[in-house]
Amino acid sequence: MTRNGSSNSESKGKLQSFKSEVASSLNIDLKPGYNGDLSSREAGSIGGEMVKRMIAYAEKNLH
């Protein structure tokens, strides 16, 4: 159990959903499972955008 009471698999599912949402908004096609065919630029764009959105969420909701 994590601190907020949700299971680890539930958290992983939410993170995967968030990743898919971000990839879709960047017009990057993610397949279920392994995505080794993505370029470094595409993978980095997804991760960078996820971080930007998490920071924006935290700034909005934690102040």
Q: Classify residue 3: in a domain, yes or no.
A: no
Contacts of 46 (CB under 8 A, 6+ apart): 19, 22, 23, 26, 28, 30
Measured distance between the N- and C-terminal CA atoms of the chain, rounded to whole angstroms: 27
Q: Classify residue 47: in a domain, yes or no.
A: yes
For position 63, what pLDDT does the model report?
73
Q: How far is it between the farthest Cα atoms of the chain?
A: 40
Parts of the chain with a pLDDT under 50: 1
For position 1, what pLDDT does the model report?
46
For position 15, what pLDDT does the model report?
93
| CA dihedral of residues 27, 13, 33, 55 (deg, nearest 10) | 40
The range of the structural domain enclosing residue 31 comes to 8-61
Q: Classify residue 1: in a domain, yes or no.
A: no
At residue 3, what are phi and psi to the nearest 5 degrees?
A: -55, -35
Counted domains in the chain: 1
